[in-house]
């Protein structure tokens, strides 16, 4: 096998595995959330599949001429990668509420088949490139480096460039088709030529999974950089709209009555705002969601000024298009992570800070630290209030820890629990 072809196959197969690993968290988020467990499952399952594929590829390379199966393996890996998204859509609903184990199983179904098959490629290529024992170390080292470079390219290009430009489905479709075409070409041009029937079967499987990927129903109205997002109309309230992010109801707004607070926790935030001194307020919001609280504040306290720190640039766009959000001098949205963006806010600039940023059912951990609380305290005026929304379940370990963190920074802390 020519050195250039060997490098291409190793780089391409390794890159494709990492593309799928990066994207799978987006695929499963509407069903199991986007949490630390989700990312851990993606990394762990991918590594396990890579190890299993490498072991399998080594055995195959010793028993069968790799020239007979390398092309079909690349094409089959592409076909299985094309089937990852529709597989998640088909079975994902059954994994809601199943916890970390369910998350691992769902990620396993999406990632393992394609990643394992594609990971057989490198051992097969190494077997073909080993021409003398004197160059074994050099050959294995170069191809291992090529595989690592491919994995890095797949990781960084997907995470920093491609995800911001293309939907997940398009990225999977393009990656899968490149693999299928490459595999078929390798099978045809690399002697001995693979028989026609297996190739036709692979092409047919690829066409089937590609078509399934294209037509698979998605709950996403908009796929943002971080969320699968949609807006759902309330059949019982003419102006009612619910913002759904990754399958969870994050915000409710009434287009006709901005003062309306539908969710119980937003009413508690409204109660805190209501007991502040009379007049307009300066409020910093950590997380935008549907913009429910900023609009409520503008309606009940005219002249108030809200500044919102929102990590996802497409959420404000969706809010403007579907939820009637109007930004201006009294309602500013600054795009960026609240943990870093808050440091740019002036000390003593706000009467109230509202913490309502969530990833799935959890507050992002870096927004709960003592350092973050110190930043909140810094931007508050004397007598200012930090109202923080927290979700926890028995034995309430997180709520207890966060309360202790707040007590270390504030003289008075009140814990309110919904019945």
SS3 332: strand
Phi, psi of 240 (to 5 degrees): -75, 135
pLDDT score for 214? 60
Kindly list the strands in the beta sheet with 248-254, ordered across the sheet, starting from the edge strand earlier in the chain.
222-223, 228-233, 240-245, 248-254
Taking only the tens place, the pLDDT of each residue in 143-166 is: 999 999 999 999 999 999 998 888
Taking only the tens place, the pLDDT of each residue in 189-238 is: 877 655 666 666 767 766 777 666 665 556 677 888 888 889 999 999 99
Question: What average pLDDT does range 362-382 have in this prediction?
Answer: 92
DSSP for 223-292, written as a single string: E-SS-EEEEEE-TTSTTEEEEEETTEEEEEEETT-TT---SHHHHHHHHHHHTSPSS--EEEEE--TT-H
Listed residue (19, 172, 38) closest to 92, CA to CA:
38
pLDDT score for 358? 81
Query: What does CATH list as the number for 3-218?
Result: 1.20.1250
- pLDDT category at 167 given cuts 50, 70, 90 is confident
pLDDT score for 8? 94
- CA distances to 178, 245, 380 from 29, rounded to whole Å, are 26, 9, 35
Question: What average pLDDT does range 241-269 have in this prediction?
Answer: 93
User: Among 15-24, 185-194, 270-279, 363-372, which stretch is predicted with the lowest mean pLDDT?
Assistant: 185-194
- Domain residue spans of the chain: 3-218, 256-407
pLDDT score for 217? 56
pLDDT score for 351? 98
pLDDT score for 57? 95
Q: Is the pLDDT of residue 187 over 90?
A: no
Task: Indicate the average pLDDT of the chain.
Answer: 90
Q: 256-407: CATH homologous superfamily?
A: Vaccinia Virus protein VP39 (3.40.50.150)
pLDDT score for 197? 66
Please check whether residue 142 is in contact with residue 51, taking contact to mean a CB–CB distance below 8 angstroms. no
- pLDDT category at 50 given cuts 50, 70, 90 is very high
């Amino acid at each position: 096998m020519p050195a250039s072809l060997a490098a291409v196959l190793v780089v391409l197969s390794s890159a494709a595995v990492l593309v799928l690993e990066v994207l799978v968290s987006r695929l499963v988020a509407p069903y199991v959330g986007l949490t630390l467990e989700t990312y851990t499952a993606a990394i762990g399952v991918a590594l396990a599949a890579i190890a299993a594929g490498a072991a399998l590829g080594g055995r195959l390379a010793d028993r069968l001429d790799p020239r007979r199966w390398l092309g079909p393996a690349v094409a089959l890996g592409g076909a299985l990668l094309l089937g990852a998204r529709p597989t998640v859509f088909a079975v994902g609903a059954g994994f809601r509420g199943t916890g970390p184990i369910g998350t691992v199983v769902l990620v396993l179904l999406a990632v393992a088949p394609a990643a394992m098959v594609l990971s057989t490629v490198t051992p097969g290529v190494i077997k073909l490139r080993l021409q003398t024992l004197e160059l074994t170390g050099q050959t294995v080292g170069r191809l291992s480096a090529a595989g690592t470079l491919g994995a890095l390219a797949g990781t960084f290009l997907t995470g920093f460039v491609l995800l911001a430009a293309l939907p997940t489905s398009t990225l999977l479709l393009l990656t899968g088709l490149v693999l299928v075409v490459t595999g078929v070409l390798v099978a045809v041009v690399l002697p001995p030529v693979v028989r026609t029937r297996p190739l036709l079967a692979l092409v047919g499987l690829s066409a089937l999974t590609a078509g399934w990927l294209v037509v698979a129903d998605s709950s996403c109205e908009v796929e943002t950089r971080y969320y699968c997002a949609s807006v759902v109309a309330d059949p019982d309230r003419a102006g009612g709209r619910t913002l759904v992010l990754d399958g969870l109801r994050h915000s409710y707004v009434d287009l006709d009555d901005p003062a309306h607070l539908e969710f119980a926790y937003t009413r508690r935030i409204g109660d805190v705002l209501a007991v502040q001194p009379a007049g307009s307020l300066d409020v910093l919001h950590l997380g935008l969601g549907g913009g429910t609280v900023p609009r409520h504040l503008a309606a009940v306290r005219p002249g108030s000024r809200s500044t919102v720190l929102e990590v996802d640039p497409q959420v404000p766009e969706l809010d403007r298009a579907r939820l009637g959000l109007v930004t201006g001098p009294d309602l500013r949205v600054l795009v960026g992570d609240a943990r870093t963006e808050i440091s740019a806010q002036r000390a003593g600039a706000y009467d109230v800070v509202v913490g309502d940023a969530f990833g799935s059912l959890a507050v992002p951990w870096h927004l709960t630290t003592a350092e973050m609380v110190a930043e909140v305290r810094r931007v508050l005026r004397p007598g200012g209030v930090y109202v923080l929304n927290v979700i926890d379940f028995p034995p309430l370990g997180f709520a207890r820890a966060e309360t202790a963190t707040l007590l270390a920074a504030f003289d008075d802390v009140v814990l309110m629990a919904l019945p």
